[in-house]
């Protein structure tokens, strides 16, 4: 791991409200060791220097909720609401092979890198074969990204194929094997969780999962109250008014829990999130694509709930682009409340950085630019037609900047992309491999009826 210094950058450290300054930053053995305003100090022997003139240097973006392999399923099932769409997504388990997960996930990781993402939380839930999870993790490891692998469980559900339903006992054993096989890998941590309670999880599983997660020292990731249909299910079958209220009796909310979506939640449920320290992954593009509704993000932020941002899988977002998602998050709240002042751009940037790190238990490692944190950094070129002139860098990072403006991506001190050139990956090979995997998957899908 080489030492490097980044000079002449406009640094947006995300450590305090609307702070930005021109300066330099030094990385030694993957760690940020100096952040200074003004002109750079002299170069140390053997040090690699990156000139960042015209660029913003900021923490890498954190995608708090996705399903990477779904890049193979972009625009396959369109104009469907959640339940019929999920029937098809779950149905894929009948034909998905480990090689689809590797090729799709690697392509998704490369898209993430090229979009300025340095950490992804892969919420895994289709496991017709144990190798599917291993191959996804192999792609994450090969990518160089920091990753959280949330290996979740489904043990019931009319729309869940038998091949991917598991008893809690078998699922827990699989997760133990996964964790044991990836010990001491500093850029990879694990979570578990009920996938989409209550539509694909039994009460028996919900009773056991908090104890299992705590015994392994891992967090919980779940799809929560994504659409009205999920809330209808909890009302009809469990006599609870909402999904979060239902989950509370099993102690599933908690400081190491992240609830994706949380669209249809009441004020009382927002209070539960706040009191338990539960984080939310807001996935506005996916929510809009599936017609789910608008998550009460403003209310959550006002109540002190930690909110992160996620793309969700490409089957309901079409991309893995968090710049796109930041802009959508901002505009959706403004139009929903019919109040342009209801959310400010710095809050949106916080969700995509600091909020994501906190939600995934990574605050001590990443999410801000500070001495002592790992060097998970991006350079965003703002010296471009659509970014100039700069009047408000925070607003412009959310509303003007594009994923393609990301010049350089660094994870744990390793440069994964420099001047838009990938360092670890042959992009053409990854594209060719994903086309093969896609062709095979489409042939297999054509044999299914939904």
* Cβ-based nearer residue to Zn ion, 208 or 312: 312
10 Å Cβ neighbour count for 35? Answer: 19
Q: Is 264 left (phi over 0), alpha (psi -120 to 50) or beta?
A: beta
Closest listed residue to residue 144, CA positions, set 341, 394, 433, 418: 418
Enclosing H/E stretch for 213: helix 203-216
The secondary structure of residue 67, as a DSSP letter, is: -
Closest listed residue to residue 393, CA positions, set 8, 14, 6: 14
* Cβ-based nearer residue to Zn ion, 291 or 439: 291
* Cβ-based nearer residue to Zn ion, 135 or 312: 312
Whether residue 23 contacts residue 38, with contact meaning beta carbons closer than 8 Å, is answered with yes
**Residue whose Cβ sits closest to Zn ion:** 312
Contact code string over 381-400 relative to Zn ion, x by CB under 5 A: --------------------
Whether residue 164 contacts residue 123, with contact meaning beta carbons closer than 8 Å, is answered with no
- How many angstroms separate the CA atoms of 410 and 417, rounded? 7
Smallest distance from the beta carbon of 313 to Zn ion, in angstroms?
6
Smallest distance from the beta carbon of 88 to Zn ion, in angstroms?
14
Let me know the angle formed at the C-alpha of 335 by 71 and 343, rounded to the nearest 5 degrees.
85
Smallest distance from the beta carbon of 203 to Zn ion, in angstroms?
22
Smallest distance from the beta carbon of 385 to Zn ion, in angstroms?
35
* Cβ-based nearer residue to Zn ion, 291 or 304: 291
Q: In this structure, what token pair is assigned to residue 329?
A: 């998050």
Contact code string over 431-450 relative to Zn ion, x by CB under 5 A: --------------------
Q: In this structure, what token pair is assigned to residue 13?
A: 């450290």
* Cβ-based nearer residue to Zn ion, 23 or 157: 157
* Cβ-based nearer residue to Zn ion, 13 or 108: 108
How many helices (H) does the chain have, and how many strands (E)? 16, 17
Question: Is 122 a binder of Zn ion (CB under 5 A)?
Answer: no
* Cβ-based nearer residue to Zn ion, 85 or 102: 85
Whether residue 32 contacts residue 410, with contact meaning beta carbons closer than 8 Å, is answered with no
Q: Residue 205 class from Cβ within 10 Å (0-12 exposed, 13-18 middle, 19+ buried)?
A: buried
* Cβ-based nearer residue to Zn ion, 312 or 414: 312
Whether residue 255 contacts residue 278, with contact meaning beta carbons closer than 8 Å, is answered with yes
Q: Strand locations in 21-104, DSSP E? A: 21-28, 31-37, 48-51, 55-59, 61-66
- How many angstroms separate the CA atoms of 412 and 124, rounded? 24
Smallest distance from the beta carbon of 408 to Zn ion, in angstroms?
29
Smallest distance from the beta carbon of 148 to Zn ion, in angstroms?
14
Q: In this structure, what token pair is assigned to residue 40?
A: 């750079």
Smallest distance from the beta carbon of 123 to Zn ion, in angstroms?
5
φ, ψ for residue 39 (rounded to 5)? -65, 150
Smallest distance from the beta carbon of 289 to Zn ion, in angstroms?
12
Smallest distance from the beta carbon of 63 to Zn ion, in angstroms?
11
- How many angstroms separate the CA atoms of 333 and 345, rounded? 11
Contact code string over 299-328 relative to Zn ion, x by CB under 5 A: -------------x----------------
* Cβ-based nearer residue to Zn ion, 27 or 315: 315
Smallest distance from the beta carbon of 223 to Zn ion, in angstroms?
5
Smallest distance from the beta carbon of 388 to Zn ion, in angstroms?
36
Closest listed residue to residue 366, CA positions, set 121, 163, 193: 121
* Cβ-based nearer residue to Zn ion, 115 or 316: 316
Closest listed residue to residue 187, CA positions, set 342, 412, 346: 412
* Cβ-based nearer residue to Zn ion, 269 or 312: 312
Closest listed residue to residue 106, CA positions, set 74, 163, 145, 157: 145
Binding-site size, Zn ion (CB under 5 A): 1
Q: Which residues bind Zn ion (CB under 5 A)?
A: 312
């Amino acid at each position: 791991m080489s030492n490097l210094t980044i000079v002449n950058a406009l640094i947006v450290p995300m450590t305090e409200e609307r702070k930005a300054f021109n300066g330099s930053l030094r990385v030694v053995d993957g760690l940020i060791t100096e952040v200074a305003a003004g002109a750079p100090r002299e170069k140390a022997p053997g040090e690699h220097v990156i000139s960042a003139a015209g660029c913003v240097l900021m923490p890498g973006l954190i995608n708090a909720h996705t399903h990477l392999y779904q890049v193979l399923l972009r625009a396959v099932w369109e104009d469907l609401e959640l339940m019929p769409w999920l029937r098809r997504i779950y149905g894929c388990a009948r034909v998905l092979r480990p090689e689809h997960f590797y090729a799709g996930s690697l392509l998704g990781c490369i898209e993430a890198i090229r979009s300025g993402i340095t950490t992804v939380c892969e919420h895994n839930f289709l496991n017709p074969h144990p190798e599917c999870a291993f191959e996804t993790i192999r792609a994450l490891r090969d990518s160089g990204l920091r990753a959280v692998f949330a290996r979740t469980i489904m043990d019931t559900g009319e729309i869940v194929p038998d091949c991917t339903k598991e008893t809690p006992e078998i699922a827990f054993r699989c997760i133990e094997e996964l964790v044991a096989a990836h010990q001491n890998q500093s850029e990879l941590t694990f979570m578990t969780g009920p996938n989409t309670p209550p539509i694909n999880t039994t009460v028996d599983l919900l009773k056991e999962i908090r104890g299992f997660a705590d015994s392994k020292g891992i967090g919980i990731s779940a799809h929560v109250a994504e659409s009205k249909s999920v809330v209808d299910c909890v009302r009809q079958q469990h006599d609870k008014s909402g999904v979060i209220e239902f989950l509370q009796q099993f102690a599933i909310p908690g400081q190491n829990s992240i609830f994706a979506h949380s669209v249809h939640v009441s004020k009382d449920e927002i209070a539960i999130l706040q009191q338990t320290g539960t984080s939310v992954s807001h996935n506005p593009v996916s929510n809009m694509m599936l017609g789910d509704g608008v998550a009460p993000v403003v209310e959550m932020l006002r109540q002190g709930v930690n909110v992160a941002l996620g793309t969700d899988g490409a089957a309901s977002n079409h991309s893995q682009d968090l710049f796109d998602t930041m802009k959508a998050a901002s505009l959706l709240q403004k139009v929903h409340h019919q109040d342009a002042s209801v959310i400010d751009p710095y809050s949106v940037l916080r969700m995509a950085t600091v909020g994501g790190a906190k939600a995934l238990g990574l605050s001590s490692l990443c999410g801000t630019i500070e001495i002592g944190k790992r060097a998970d950094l991006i350079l965003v070129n703002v010296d471009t037609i659509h970014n100039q002139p700069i009047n408000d860098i925070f607003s412009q990072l959310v509303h003007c900047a594009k994923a393609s403006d990301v010049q350089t991506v660094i994870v744990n001190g390793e440069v994964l992309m420099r001047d838009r050139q990938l360092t670890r990956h042959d992009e053409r090979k990854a594209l060719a491999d994903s086309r093969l995997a896609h062709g095979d998957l489409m042939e297999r899908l054509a044999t299914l009826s939904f």
